[in-house]
Structure 1
Amino acid sequence: MSTVLNVPIARTPEVAPAASRRLVARFGRGSVAVGALVAGIALWYAVSYLVLSPQRRFLLPAPHTVLSESLLDPVHLRPMLVALGETAQVAGMGFVAAAVIGIAVGALMSQTWWLERVIFPYAVVLQVVPILAITPLLGLWFGYSTTSRVAVCVMIALFPIITNTHFGFRSVDPGLHELFTLGRASRLQRLVRLELPAASPAILTGLRIASGQVIIGAIIGDMFFAQGQPGIGTLMDDYRAQLRSTDLIAAIVLAAAFGVVVFVVCSAVSRLAVGRWHGSGGAR
């Protein structure tokens, strides 16, 4: 007579859906970001009220003072938004020009070894020389208006695009190159069908880095080249000279917010383009 033992079968824990895990991860990252923002505002208040005396508090007005007297006052806010729009246009033109030049140069460097040896040292020099040292020379060459501002943006954004494009083209799987060789693909077919798609994650990473660099370049250009429509950097320089620290901080906050928006947009584009199949797209 046989007996059947009722052995309880351990249930395997249910695996949380991928969407739920992503939601939890995003909530965690968002909580850290909000916590850092709150800590920064608290530190700002502490310095304004505990470190600075009432006579010197104008050096760092409290956040609510900046909000009420500048950011929520149309008389003060309107010229800042107009100037920020001008800076955004300059940054956009510089970004497009840097993207076209940087991707083309990076691709050419990856195709010919002697071009890499000729161009790369000068790209490094362009990166290591302080842009503030070159800016006066650009004014002599291109004048003191929009053209020089765009030139500053291009120079400051070129290096990450060139290096990431070159890295992306050089990182193609050698096995795929052999496959295209067996298929007797031409140089153009290999470039368009293999190397460019494979390099796209690295190219997008370079563009994402450059998107922040061009904003810095546009603000620097505003400060040095004041002819024409003033940008947000021009207003910052004016506020500094007039000791209008409340408006100065408000302009800095607007410029920083604009930079964050641009970076988020570029990250979203990168995720949409390559996030499903490559980690550099920002998918988590």
Structure 2
Amino acid sequence: MCLSINIRGFFMPQQGRVQAERLNPMQQMVKVSQSQKLLSWRQPGQAKQSWWRKHQLELIALPAGVLILIGLWALVTLIGNYPVFILPGPLLVFDKLIEIVADGTLWFHTQATLTEIMGGLALGLSTATILGYILAKSPILERLAGPYIVASQSIPAVAIAPLLVIWFGSGKLSKVLICALIVFFPVLINTIVGIRSVDPGLKTLMRSLRANRWQMFIWLEVPAAMPVLLGGLKIGGTLSVIGAVVGEFVGADHGLGYLINLSKGLFNTPLLFAALITLSLISLTLYLIVTGLERWLLAWRR
């Protein structure tokens, strides 16, 4: 009897704790989260090493790819012995790039193109996001407006650009509108897909918690659609560079597109390559900015 009492007295507190934990799921969640934090905690040196291991392929691949491309370019020009106006070597292009940077020519044309790109991105992204959200919430309106939107995108931007230059002149406004038109469609489609990809079960849960439309938008729809929206922003950022160049081809007296046209007429191929390299760097910079923004905004998903 005494033995049984001791055994029960020994085990009852543990049973009581088990029952208490079963009756308090919130405490279980807190304990689990605390244990996860303890398991995921690292020393600063370990965190740096893990970051390097995770991104070392990206950090090595890009410079290595550029060096390989430049090496192949130099090899082709050396073996082929092409004239300078056909295919200049990397050193000639680099010298020309240094020259137009030193005399301010490159910055004069680059800032004009950057202004058009930023204006076109702002106009195209805002318009496409607002309209995409409206169409995503109203399938009837999408069925009515969808054919007209698709038909407008079937016309090449090169064909619309002269008309916009006639209507709005050869200033920055026509170039901004061309950029916005090119950016508009992919961002619109991504917005519709992103908003409609929200889990219906989560919507039901938010309604059961008496969330209003604004709270549903801020706390559910925007976070759920963010990966798709940022994918559209990546596409739109690179396409905006194309839009600016197309507009400058049609009618402009400054900008990198104008510089390409000028160098083509003068058979100054090193200058043409320098302008193309600058455009590539702008596109790459926009892509990396959006990628960094994506990692920052979507850190909660990892």
Q: Which bin holds the TM-score, normalised by the shorter protein?
A: 0.7 to 0.9
Contact 1:168 1:202 in 2 (8 A): yes
Instruction: Tell me if 1:99 matches 2:99.
Output: no
Cα shift at 1:75: 7.0
Q: How far apart, CA to CA, are the structure 2 residues paired with 1:154 and 1:208?
A: 14
Q: How far apart, CA to CA, are the structure 2 residues paired with 1:207 and 1:122?
A: 23
Q: How far apart, CA to CA, are the structure 2 residues paired with 1:111 and 1:87?
A: 36
Instruction: Note the residue ranges of structure 2 that are not aligned, 5 or more in a row.
Output: 1-45
Instruction: Tell me if 1:248 matches 2:277.
Output: no
Instruction: Tell me if 1:60 matches 2:87.
Output: yes
Contact 1:236 1:248 in 2 (8 A): yes
User: What SS class does the counterpart of residue 93 from structure 2 fall into?
Assistant: helix
Instruction: Tell me if 1:271 matches 2:295.
Output: yes
Q: Counterpart in 2 of 1:10? A: none
Contact 2:84 2:269 in 1 (8 A): no
User: What SS class does the counterpart of residue 147 from structure 1 fall into?
Assistant: helix
Q: How far apart, CA to CA, are the structure 1 residues paired with 2:141 and 2:214?
A: 18
Cα shift at 1:161: 1.1
1:72-83 alignment runs, 5 A limit: 72-74=98-100, 78-83=104-109
Which string of whole-angstrom CA distances, capped at 9 and with x for unpartnered residues, describes residues 53-90 of structure 1? 4xx2331111011112x112257752121100110011
Instruction: Tell me if 1:211 matches 2:240.
Output: no
Q: Counterpart in 2 of 1:33? A: 62
How much identity, in percent, do the aligned residues show?
Answer: 29
Q: Counterpart in 2 of 1:4? A: none
Cα shift at 1:21: 4.1
**Higher Cα Rg, which structure:** 2
The one-letter code of the counterpart of 1:131 is A
Q: How far apart, CA to CA, are the structure 2 residues paired with 1:181 and 1:25?
A: 40
Q: How far apart, CA to CA, are the structure 2 residues paired with 1:130 and 1:273?
A: 34
Q: How far apart, CA to CA, are the structure 1 residues paired with 2:267 and 2:284?
A: 27
Cα shift at 1:19: 5.1
TM-score by length of 1: 0.83
Q: Counterpart in 2 of 1:85? A: 111
Q: How far apart, CA to CA, are the structure 1 residues paired with 2:115 and 2:256?
A: 11
User: What SS class does the counterpart of residue 88 from structure 2 fall into?
Assistant: coil
TM-score by length of 2: 0.79
Cα shift at 1:167: 1.1
1:126-165 alignment runs, 5 A limit: 126-165=152-191
Instruction: Note the residue ranges of structure 1 that are not aligned, 5 or more in a row.
Output: 1-16, 280-284
Number of aligned residue pairs: 259
Q: Counterpart in 2 of 1:120? A: 146
Q: How far apart, CA to CA, are the structure 1 residues paired with 2:287 and 2:295?
A: 12
Q: How far apart, CA to CA, are the structure 2 residues paired with 1:192 and 1:163?
A: 20
Cα shift at 1:278: 3.4
Contact 1:48 1:57 in 2 (8 A): no
Q: Counterpart in 2 of 1:48? A: 77
Which string of whole-angstrom CA distances, capped at 9 and with x for unpartnered residues, describes residues 208-257 of structure 1? 22111111111111111215xx1111111001011011111111111111
Hey, which of these two has a bigger chunk of helix by percent? 2
